[in-house]
Amino acid sequence: MQSFIVMQGQTYQEEKELGMIWSRKQASDGSFPHSWLRVMEVNEGNRIFHYVKGSIVAISVAKTGCQIAQRPSSEPNDDSGYLVELDYHELEVPVNVRAKFDAILPLLPIKYSPFQADANGNQGYLYPCNEELTIKLLEMISDLNIYQVDEEQLELAISTVRQTERNTFIPMLAETETEVKTKIRLGRKKFRQGLLPVWAKKCALCEIELPELLHASYSKPWKDSTDVERVDAYNGVLLCCNHNALYENGFIAFDGQGRLHISSQVPEEDYEKYGIQPKMKIARKEQNKPYFKWHKRHLFRG
Ligand SMILES: [Zn+2]
């Protein structure tokens, strides 16, 4: 199951009433924006977060895959586009993205992010939402929208409509969370199992062998990787807790030859404490090269 974020603005109300999202196929300048073409990637059962003027205001489930269709509300013409039918669940309390941005920012991918670094939404229409970001958004939605209904509220008879809506909304959130967490857990497990023998079950830098202390560190993180890259045993390196933290936070990196590079933010006098030396070289495989280069280019603090 995939998730997406749709940036709707003024089109939200109409698209909600019609129970769909829709994009044109081609821009008036002849280009094919990636965020429009992405509507074709939506499959039945996928989840979509709806972003309107700074907040996530609804979550929906795709009732269909993508269809070629003109906008239902438009006058008949030949300007068809991409349409997906959705079950909208509008949130009683929207999630204000800017207010929660400290938790959201680290989960945004470098490519095709729905939000800019200043918390504003990007201009396009439909963006991918990786599993880690999906879980974070679900947590935020749950915190704001799920509460224990106490006796008094029940006596005041909350409207039947709202009750019915909640009867499907809460299980849908729970099911989404379970599916997404399972995907991450199984993916990481497969990644670790593939990676252990590549590094002879030892930290590549200090040779610690205790399995409980060893992390399968991603070079290209989950949020930025394709499904294939997420389980590719060469997209990472086996490291102990300390070296994993240095690597994931960009304080160290490896070049194509497997040579260690240390950020200038780590004082030289501390190298010994961290168990690192600038000349260290790890036994990288040829297939590690593109991933090491990606990590060094995008995550290394230099
Ligand atoms: Zn180590």
Task: Report the separation in Å between the CA atom of 88 and the middle of ligand 1, taken as the mean of its atom positions.
Answer: 48
What is the C-alpha to C-alpha distance for residues 71 and 76, in angstroms, rounded to an integer? 9
> pLDDT per position in the chain (302 positions), as tens?
899 999 999 999 999 999 999 999 988 899 999 999 999 999 999 999 999 999 999 999 999 999 999 888 776 665 689 999 999 999 999 999 999 999 999 999 999 999 999 999 999 999 999 999 999 999 999 999 987 555 555 555 555 555 566 678 999 999 999 999 999 999 999 999 999 999 999 999 999 999 999 999 999 999 999 999 999 999 999 999 999 999 999 999 999 999 999 999 999 999 999 999 998 999 999 999 999 999 999 999 98
What is the C-alpha to C-alpha distance for residues 5 and 57, in angstroms, rounded to an integer? 11
**Is residue 205 within 8 Å of 246, Cβ to Cβ?**
no
Q: Residue 87 is encoded by which pair of tokens? A: 């079950």
What is the C-alpha to C-alpha distance for residues 296 and 274, in angstroms, rounded to an integer? 19
Contacts with 211 (C-beta within 8 Å, 6 or more apart), sequence order:
201
Task: Report the separation in Å between the CA atom of 244 and the middle of ligand 1, taken as the mean of its atom positions.
Answer: 8
- Write down the pLDDT at residue 178: 97
Of 270, 221, 278, 272, give the one whose Cα is nearest residue 244.
221
Task: Report the separation in Å between the CA atom of 76 and the middle of ligand 1, taken as the mean of its atom positions.
Answer: 65
What is the C-alpha to C-alpha distance for residues 146 and 138, in angstroms, rounded to an integer? 11
Instruction: Assign residue 276 a region (left: φ > 0; alpha: ψ between -120 and 50; beta: otherwise).
Output: beta
User: What residues does each domain of the chain span?
Assistant: 3-145, 194-298
What is the C-alpha to C-alpha distance for residues 301 and 264, in angstroms, rounded to an integer? 8
Task: Report the separation in Å between the CA atom of 263 and the middle of ligand 1, taken as the mean of its atom positions.
Answer: 17
Q: What's phi and psi for 85, nearest 5 deg? A: -85, 140
Task: Report the separation in Å between the CA atom of 60 and the middle of ligand 1, taken as the mean of its atom positions.
Answer: 44
Q: What's phi and psi for 76, nearest 5 deg? A: -55, 125
The predicted model scores a pTM of 0.91
Task: Report the separation in Å between the CA atom of 265 and the middle of ligand 1, taken as the mean of its atom positions.
Answer: 19
- Write down the pLDDT at residue 59: 97
- Write down the pLDDT at residue 9: 92
- Write down the pLDDT at residue 156: 58
Task: Report the separation in Å between the CA atom of 94 and the middle of ligand 1, taken as the mean of its atom positions.
Answer: 43
Task: Report the separation in Å between the CA atom of 193 and the middle of ligand 1, taken as the mean of its atom positions.
Answer: 18
Task: Tell me the β-bridge partners of 51.
Answer: 7, 56
**Is residue 70 within 8 Å of 76, Cβ to Cβ?**
yes
- Write down the pLDDT at residue 279: 84
Q: Chain centroid to CA 153: how far?
A: 37
Task: Report the separation in Å between the CA atom of 198 and the middle of ligand 1, taken as the mean of its atom positions.
Answer: 15
- Write down the pLDDT at residue 79: 66
List, as ranges, residues with CB under 5 A of the ion ligand 1.
Answer: 203, 205-206, 240, 243
- Write down the pLDDT at residue 28: 87
Task: Report the separation in Å between the CA atom of 240 and the middle of ligand 1, taken as the mean of its atom positions.
Answer: 4
> Exposed, middle or buried: residue 3 (CB in 10 Å: 0-12, 13-18, 19+)?
buried
- Write down the pLDDT at residue 72: 83
CATH number of the 3-145 domain: 3.10.590.10
Task: Report the separation in Å between the CA atom of 111 and the middle of ligand 1, taken as the mean of its atom positions.
Answer: 30
What is the C-alpha to C-alpha distance for residues 293 and 297, in angstroms, rounded to an integer? 6
